[in-house]
A and B are shown apart, each in its own frame.
Chain A
Amino acid sequence: MFSYFFNKTTSSNHTSSIWIYRIIFFLFTWIYLGVAKSDLLYKLQEANYFLFDHTFIEQLLTNKSGLIVLCSRFLLQFCYYPLLGGAIIAALLTGIEIICHHLFKLNGKGSIIGFIPSFILLILQVSITYELYDSFDTSYAFVIIIGWYYALLLFFLYNKLKKNLFGVIFFTILVALSSIQMGPAAIVALLLISTQAFLSKEYKNGIITTTIGTLFVILAAYFTIHHITPSYFNYAILYPWPNLFFKYIFYMTLGGHLIAILLLTAYPLYYHILEHSKYIYQPAIGVLFMGLTLLLGRYPTAFQEELHLQQLTHEMQWKELAKTANNVKVSSKLIAAYRTIGLVTTDQLTQKFFDFDFDYHQPTFNKYYEEVVYNPDFMFYASFPQISYRWSMEAWTSIKEQFYILQLMSLTAYINEEYNLCERYLSILKKTLFYKDFAVNLEKYLNNEEAFYHKYPVMKKIKDAQAKSDVSGILPCTSALYLDFKSLSPLNTERRILSRLYRRELEEFETELSLSMLPKENHIPECFQEGIILKSIISNDPNIIKNFPIDEQVRNKVTSLINYYKKHINDSAVKEQIHEKFGYSYTYYFIFGYGAKNTQNKISD
């Protein structure tokens, strides 16, 4: 049975159908990744780091699995254009199927088996979700693909050399040495060989080779890793596979690889069943795997929307950002943060800020890391460049080096008038493939602030609204930061008053609104009007309203909403009913929004 491999010719009957399947697989993968998962691909490359710089490359190559990580990071850059990245991945995965098809002689009805490793790799790629907000190396998306190419190459080589003793010795040494640069791909190859040998009962060569090969791989890892302790050793052998901290991805990777290895190597055992079975219908298996991909590649709640809003922010598509953020289906702190950026950049902050469900769902990942994701952007657009810089550094150090953070830090340095610092970041960005243009463009403005702020009015807004005095940036939230500035530009006064509303500090809100110039104008934003009406109701002082330009319609709406709430207070669906009847508003936020428990009592009393 062992001679099955490499000796059987391919049946010509199925040649045309297999190419149709390949085209279908390619198109499915390309569209699925390039369109449906474009946000993920974009974010994966944003969190990537690759420089066309010999020092960077040398340093990467001195690390364990350096070459495979280097190649993967290089390819991941192309996901800057998700359609291009998707096409590359689809082509590579189709290539794996073609190699498997020829290497394992998958003929007839069994040829569909050749797609299984590619489907498994596709599922593994799209299984990355919140891990990318952590210290997860996003090059994993390509590491597993390149790893398979390398494993199949080794497998091919072994089968060519296995009958020659010196060939086998050469092979084991090659596997061990290559594992230093190619990481666990060598282990995948050894698993392919050992499973093949075990199932074909040709233990002598296969098992001995893989045993010695595995020992060599372990020894190679032992001598090349820096931290030679038993606890760290397992991780060092498997790197750059995700480690056990990312349990879900780790076990998926392990399980997926074992299934693929087993199905390919055991093919000689079951191909007769496939060939003679009336019920094996290849398209059905294909559809099953496509369905599995769609099912297992589903995102957690809010994740896709969060990714999309980030992409819009980083591409500086403000109007689209504000529009998309207002139509999100789920609320999360991340979404709220990016929505606020959309409102700030399109001058709609006070008009629309509370037109949103602030009842955040709990993130499925570490809460601290949620802040690390949105705060670099959020603080930047909130006109706190130094605090943004601090959070960028947090992301840089606690997640990892990433293109986007470098880009943001260069902008922060520019706004902060630290041009030498900005130049340092730009000099590095100029060594990237797709962020080079950004660097070259910003570099032109290093000695020409006026032109820069003229061309980018949003940046001017950020700069103009900056704090002029020092405040401790370690305050718990942005609203607290705004509250600490006593006298700022009118823009900040408005934000400061809005912060009082957000924190439900109605007493201070009323005082500060009175002191500001805003009531002297004929119109104040609706949420401010609602704040005044609520203050009047809670303190049972109707005179408060007289001091402010309150619209009768707004007054009626708030009164109706509160009356409705009081009437249906014990109804479990009161929140949904009010939303349906009145929509989102400051009053709605006051009663039901994030941290509203105490205020509900005030209203019901």
Chain B
Amino acid sequence: MKPILFILLITLLSSCSSNTTIPKNVQSASQDIAIYPDFKDVTVPQNIAPLNFHVDTPCDEVIIEVQSNNGEKIIEEGHDRTVKFNPKEWSKILRSSSAGEITFTPYLKNKKKWAKYNSFTVNVIDAPIDSFVTYRLIEPSFMSTGQIGLYQFNLFSGEESTIIRRCKNPTSESLHDQSCVNCHAAQKKNPQNKMFYYRGKEGGLILTYNGQIKKIDTKVEGMLAPSTYPAWHPTLPLIAFSTNLVYQDFPTTRKGKTEFYDINAFLILYDILSNETYILPNEKKQLCTNPTWSPDGEYLYYAVSDSSINQQKPIEAEYPKLKYNIARIKFDPTTKSFSEPDVLLNVNAGGYSATFPRISPDNRFLLVNISHFGASPHTHIESDLFALDIHNKKLFPCTNANSPEAESYHDFSSKANWFVFYSRREDGNYGRAYISYIDSTGTCTKPFQLPHKDPLTDRERLKLYNVIEFSNSSVSFSEGDFYNVIWNQKPIQAKADSRNQQTDGNSGATPHKKESQTDATTGASRLQIPINH
């Protein structure tokens, strides 16, 4: 009996372990293979999940040899041309190739003959990265309620999990209640202090703070719309928002297919502890959107536009007039007040629009979207990522990250050496998440796509990624916890800050604390911004 059991055990173990070998009698093809996702020559952190891929080059069988610069090897066979690496073996390879290259050598079998194709490399660097990215998955071009959800992706394991998906409330009388999950943000990459919006009848700001979930209605008198784009203060229990009266259009010919534009937009500050909403003065009635804090919390950056839309005129001719610059205002944490704004980056003069400012945690670079117009660069084919060196005010394109299609929704990692962003480079429609390494000079590397366990996930997923952000751990609350609050709790109504009464809401009459204008403005014409077409 014992020998039989032993043989069975050996058989079982041998069937589990990889015994793939390099094929013999191999010819040299001297050709590159096409793989998806394109991981060739990308730079990845040392603890990244296996870079599984699909071989697009037609073949009957595929074997990949992976070798680190220290000689460690994996030989992996593809099934249906899909190559998936054993996580343990993969991790070993990465560890053994600290700050070096790993080389992939493909062997493809066609008509019973094996051929060795050109090798490609992946650069591994010892630069820490946050363990998660969070994002929203949504379809590209629609208006009504869809199958929208927030998700988190573990960069070390390649696993995706749901934070919350928009779903119908079965107790609701109508099947067609419009609702949406959007605009999520966390305080300093910490998902324990996180917020997102659940729009619709039962909606509100869903805030997790100090281990509790709350539903809050931040809208107070003087606000034309609910709070929209959020920005957590890095240390204080404060969230700055833009409140946008936003419209959507579906142009008949423009490839971006949809255009979002603001009729009105200004900034507010929500104080979590006092539950008060303060409307920031906006004397010039500018459109202010996309707020973000400087890493030290001393400045609030945002996109600002002096233009406005005449709704009496054909809208498709109006919204191209909306052009934004990047401004900032100094924040006084003791009085929770702001000083006079100053424009940090002026690209309007050159005929461009700058939006979605994001500051690196080392306060070195400001990453920004530049496009022809508007505040929805993610739908603009010409939209590219640019970095502004905050110290010398030099603006330059993130050449290696940009593509002929739209780039947007960028965010820096905690240590400022990686940034994640959205790009429509695959088909101009379905934006995917990419991560690029950025060094101290602002030079970035060829980005890599999220390393899903199934490499065809992004090719077959009919949703795009947006509002992609790094996170240092997973969200601790379940979807059920969130729905308990959404469906069963009434929103806590925020109080208006006493200063609002003096400001008459949007009109703004409160005198600013004057801060001297900086010489940060840099005209786009001087910069000769290379916008792709």
Contacts and interface: CB of A to CB of B under 8 A. Distances in A.
A231 B170 contact: yes
Contact of A55 (B142, B255, B457): B457
A134 B454 contact: no
- For the residues of B in contact with A, the DSSP-based class is loop
B257 A386 contact: yes
Nearest to A467: B252
Contact of B460 (A366, A427, A473): A427
Contact of A473 (B250, B478, B480, B488): B250
Interface stretch (A39-47, A332-340, A394-402, A596-604): A394-402
A15 B463 CA distance: 57
How many A residues are at the interface, by size bracket? 35 or more
B484 interface: yes
Nearest to B486: A229
A244 B168 CA distance: 12
A474 B253 contact: no
A471 B316 contact: yes
A245 B170 CA distance: 8
Contact of A467 (B143, B169, B253): B253
Given A234-B170, A390-B142, A421 B254 contact: no
Nearest to A54: B454
Nearest to B248: A474
A207 B152 CA distance: 45
B12 interface: no
A235 interface: yes
A231 B176 CA distance: 18
Contacts of A55: 454, 456-457, 460
Interface in B240-260: 248-255, 257-258
Contact of B252 (A423, A424, A470): A470
Interface string A446-483: 00000000000000000000111111111000000100
B144 A424 contact: no
Contacts of A372: 144
B512 interface: no
A245 B257 CA distance: 33
How many B residues are at the interface, by size bracket? 35 or more
A397 B139 contact: yes
B171 interface: yes
Contacts of A389: 141, 257
Nearest to A56: B460
A428 interface: yes
Interface in B451-499: 454, 456-457, 459-460, 462, 478-480, 483-484, 487-488
Contacts of A398: 142, 144-146, 176
Contacts of A470: 251-254, 316
Given A135-B175, A244-B170, A245-B175, A227 B479 contact: yes
A108 B145 CA distance: 55
Nearest to B460: A428
Contacts of B255: 416, 418
Contact of B162 (A226, A245, A386, A424): A226
A387 B427 CA distance: 18
Interface string A352-377: 00000000000000101100100000
A484 interface: yes
A424 B483 contact: no
Contact of A229 (B426, B428, B462, B480): B480
Contacts of B254: 386, 470
Contacts of B176: 366, 368-369, 398
B250 A418 contact: no
B427 A424 contact: yes
A232 B167 CA distance: 10
B412 to A, nearest CB: 29
Interface in B141-159: 141-147
B169 A394 contact: no
Given A420-B427, A472-B250, A390 B316 contact: no
A421 B176 CA distance: 29
B127 to A, nearest CB: 31
A528 interface: no
A53 interface: yes
Contact of B483 (A53, A232, A234, A396): A232
A74 interface: no
B305 interface: no
B503 interface: no
Nearest to A425: B462
B430 interface: yes
Interface in A21-62: 53, 55-56
A135 B252 CA distance: 28
Contacts of A517: none
B523 interface: no
A310 to B, nearest CB: 21
Interface in B408-457: 426-430, 454, 456-457
A397 B253 contact: no
B293 to A, nearest CB: 33
A396 B169 CA distance: 20
A134 B162 contact: no
B141 A390 contact: yes
Contact of A397 (B144, B169, B314, B459): B144
A368 B178 CA distance: 12
A244 B147 CA distance: 20
Interface in A406-432: 413, 416, 418, 420-421, 423-424, 427-428
B144 A232 contact: no
Interface in B186-232: none
Contacts of A491: none
Nearest to B318: A472
Contacts of A119: none
A433 interface: no
A536 interface: no
B142 A424 contact: no
B400 to A, nearest CB: 21
A559 B149 CA distance: 61
Contacts of A424: 426-427, 429-430, 459-460, 462
B315 interface: yes
A467 B170 CA distance: 43
Contacts of A135: 168, 175
15 contacts: A135-B175, A226-B479, A226-B480, A229-B488, A231-B488, A232-B169, A232-B487, A244-B170, A396-B139, A396-B462, A421-B427, A424-B429, A472-B250, A472-B251, A472-B315
Given A393-B140, A424-B460, 16 more contacts: A226-B162, A228-B480, A231-B171, A235-B170, A245-B175, A390-B258, A393-B142, A394-B143, A397-B144, A424-B459, A469-B252, A471-B252, A471-B253, A472-B251, A473-B249, A484-B314
Closest 3 CB pairs of A and B: A397-B146, A473-B250, A420-B427
Interface of A: 53, 55-56, 134-135, 226-229, 231-232, 234-235, 243-245, 366, 368-369, 372, 384, 386-387, 389-390, 393-394, 396-398, 401, 413, 416, 418, 420-421, 423-424, 427-428, 466-474, 481, 484
